[in-house]
Amino acid sequence: MNKALSPQKGCRIVEVECKSILNKSGLADWTVNCYAGCEHGCRYCYARFATRFFHPGESWGSFVDVKVNAPQALASEVRRKRAGRVFVSSVCDGWQPSEARYGLTRQCLEILLRHGYPITILTKSALAARDLDLLASKGGVEFGVTITTLDEGLRRLIEPRSSPSAERLALLEEARRRGIRTYAFLGPLMPHLSDTEESLTSLLKAVKEVGADHFYIDRLNPRYGVWQSLRDLLQEHFPHLTEQYRRILFEDRSRAEYSRGLMSTVNRLARRQGLDARMRLCF
Ligand code: SF4
């Protein structure tokens, strides 16, 4: 098994029961999250807002609540709730290391597919390859991976326990090979680290090579808890960038200027690669 898929030492795994699992979402009609908390521990993650009352003061990535009755709850809810697109997952990675042991996301996918729900998946885990057999040749399925950088050193710093980007690209390629509609989510781009012309060019080339049907690009956003987490990382590894990040995130003028520049660069580079028709900007 990939090392990144084993639960990290010191991560507190707690089994809990949930009342409901098919919840309303701004990303689709519904979302399913079989875990509260995420071992991947991405430094820019804002999903930490979802656990702020249950895990006050605990550091993001150091705990996971496993909703052991998620498949049973879902089986009951799909009979009562209207059908609609389901996003898997919005506030955790459904294929984080605990999924290798519990298989809850897989069981939920089986239920959703059996009841004809269209599904959009987004993951940073190579473990999702396990479930491509369920998704192949099913209508209404979109399979996406997030890739923020191809620089493994940077990836380990900002997404410490996720799968390496090369494994995610291979996963996307395999999904496409199996006839599944695919997309890449390139973001959030880290100012002055993964948003450089060189970095963007290699990201776009990689997306082109794997043949994703479309891709999104997003900038870094100052959502819940992001600044506190990133500020510590910057101070430790890139102290010269701390003040620039603060301005880009919180000063209107700097943010607008930064966004305009990034937009113009990604548009130009995507045109150069013949990818502009497949690109969707999130800002
Ligand atoms: S994989 Fe997603 S949910 Fe998990 S820590 Fe990273 S950004 Fe957050």
Contact 145, 121 (CB under 8 A): no
Closest-lying ligand 1 atom to the alpha carbon of residue 61: 5
Closest-lying ligand 1 atom to the alpha carbon of residue 92: 3
CA 274 – ligand 1 centroid, Å: 30
pLDDT at 4: 45
Of 8, 25, 124, which is best to mutate to test ligand 1, by the most ligand atoms within 8 angstroms of its C-beta?
124
182 pLDDT band, cuts 50/70/90, is very high
| Side chain identity, residue 69 | N
Q: Who lines ligand 1 at CB under 6 A?
A: 38, 40-42, 45, 47, 92-93, 124, 159, 162
Q: Whose CA is nearest to atom 3 of ligand 1?
A: 92
Contact 70, 31 (CB under 8 A): no
In the chain, DSSP finds a helix count (H) and a strand count (E) of 10, 11
pLDDT digits (tens, 9 = 90+) for 69-101: 999 999 999 999 999 999 999 999 999 999 999
Please name each of the domains of the chain with its CATH number: 10-281 (3.80.30.30)
CA 123 – ligand 1 centroid, Å: 8
Closest-lying ligand 1 atom to the alpha carbon of residue 60: 5
Closest-lying ligand 1 atom to the alpha carbon of residue 91: 3
Residue 235 has φ and ψ, to the nearest 5°, of: -60, -35
Eight-class DSSP state of 109: H
DSSP 9-41: TT-EEEEE--S--EEE-SSSSEEE-SEES-TT-
Question: How many Å apart are CA 42 and CA 70, to the nearest integer?
Answer: 24
What's the mean pLDDT in 13-23?
Answer: 97
Burial 177-199 (b: 16+ CB within 10 A, else e): eeebbbbbbbbbbbbebbbeeeb
Contact 267, 200 (CB under 8 A): no
pLDDT digits (tens, 9 = 90+) for 242-253: 999 999 999 999
Question: How many Å apart are CA 128 and CA 81, to the nearest integer?
Answer: 26
Of 162, 167, 189, which is best to mutate to test ligand 1, by the most ligand atoms within 8 angstroms of its C-beta?
162
Contact 77, 30 (CB under 8 A): no
pLDDT digits (tens, 9 = 90+) for 190-200: 999 999 999 99
* The pair of three-digit structure tokens given for residue 105, joined into one six-digit string: 């996301």
